[in-house]
Amino acid sequence: MRVLGIETSCDETGIAVYDDLQGLLSHQLYSQIKLHADYGGVVPELASRDHIRKVIPLIQQAMAESNSTPADIDAVVYTAGPGLVGALLVGATTGRALAMAWGKPAVAVHHMEGHLLAPMLEDPAPEFPFLALLVSGGHTLIVRVDGIGEYQIMGESIDDAAGEAFDKTAKLMGLDYPGGPRLSKLATQGTPGRFTFPRPMTDRPGLDMSFSGLKTFAANTIADNGNDEQTQADIALAFEQAVVDTLIIKCRRALDETGFKRLVIAGGVSANQRLRAQLGDLMHSRGGQVYYPRTEFCTDNGAMIAYAGMQRFKAGQTQGLSIGATPRWPLDQLPPLSR
């Protein structure tokens, strides 16, 4: 069976063709980063317009690269949420309309389920059950995963997401959007120990997190010490280490609670090398293993949506004729695969 996957929830147009026997046959990605950089963040209206320009040409490329005709496609799957509603609508209406024109079913996919299942495209893929740390620009979640659609949210950020904290702190430092990867690069030049940022909400029990205070701490540190190149790098390192430590402390607690030996990290911030290395050490010390997607599938992409959509399609969970666009959609409201 073969699906065409469409992702347009934020600032990346991602298209993929996934075959359940042959694997990923094509994935196309267009990032709008340059478009939004001048504004220091994603401008929803511009994002929607750019998706409109790119979605059809990228679908044509993916169909051609995978040697697929519409007759080869068994379902069209698209991100229905969470995300920016105008951006979501581009993928949702395109996906729903193509499915109708081709006489195939459509499947509405949850963006965070896409991220969560992205490591399934790698070898070895994690087996269920596992703990998942989902760290993106919009969400920070610690999830107990017993199977597809069997998600228990154990902890989450009560304010800014980890990626959002990276981006806001980077912006304060004068770095271009999206600041996360830039700040992280700068941190490699930082002096260890010059600054120490707090590890929010780690002094009390529980798995919830808070990252909004870190940007204020960064602003105060800049006000007191200036923003020269070395100070910037030192702040970047102290900030990054605080986020990573906080995530590690919370993951360790969740691993203690569940007894799980497998940890999945996914979402944009899972591209962060320090986070990967330190979570790798943590799992190694516990006799377990960490799993993450290849770097290009950490941030938004069509492949993860095609994969997640295929699992839902095979379980018969298709969408009917309505157009699914759900800007707010809690992950733990998804049905289990078997139901």
Residues at the site binding ligand KG4, with contacts judged by CB under 6 A: 10, 136-138, 163-164, 166-167, 178-181, 184, 267-269, 271-272, 299-300
Nearer to ligand KG4 (CB atom), residue 136 or residue 319: 136
Element (H, E) at 140: strand 140-147
Q: Specify the pairing of strand 2-7 against strand 75-81.
A: parallel
Nearer to ligand KG4 (CB atom), residue 63 or residue 175: 175
Q: Select the binding partner of residue 86 from Zn ion, ligand KG4, none (C-beta < 5 to 8 A, by kind).
A: none
Q: Select the binding partner of residue 126 from ligand KG4, Zn ion, none (C-beta < 5 to 8 A, by kind).
A: none
Contacts of 122 (CB under 8 A, 6+ apart): 291, 292, 293, 294
Nearer to ligand KG4 (CB atom), residue 87 or residue 98: 87
> Judged by CB under 5 A, which stretch of 44-52, 132-140, 231-239, 316-324 contacts Zn ion?
132-140
The radius of gyration of the chain's CA atoms, rounded to the nearest angstrom, is 20
Q: Select the binding partner of residue 326 from ligand KG4, Zn ion, none (C-beta < 5 to 8 A, by kind).
A: none
Question: By the 8 A CB rule, do 291 and 132 touch?
Answer: no
CB of 244 to Zn ion, least distance (A): 20
Residue 179 class from Cβ within 10 Å (0-12 exposed, 13-18 middle, 19+ buried)? buried
Q: Select the binding partner of residue 119 from Zn ion, ligand KG4, none (C-beta < 5 to 8 A, by kind).
A: none
Angle at 120 between CA 119 and CA 126, to 5 degrees: 80
3 state SS of 119: helix
Query: Taking the CA of residue 50 as centre, how many other CA atoms within 13 Å lie in the half-sphere pointing to its CB?
Result: 22
Using rule CB under 5 A, residue 167 touches Zn ion: no
Nearer to Zn ion (CB atom), residue 160 or residue 300: 300
Q: Select the binding partner of residue 149 from Zn ion, ligand KG4, none (C-beta < 5 to 8 A, by kind).
A: none
Site for Zn ion in 274-313 (CB under 5 A): 300
Nearer to ligand KG4 (CB atom), residue 214 or residue 271: 271
Strand partners, 18: 3, 24
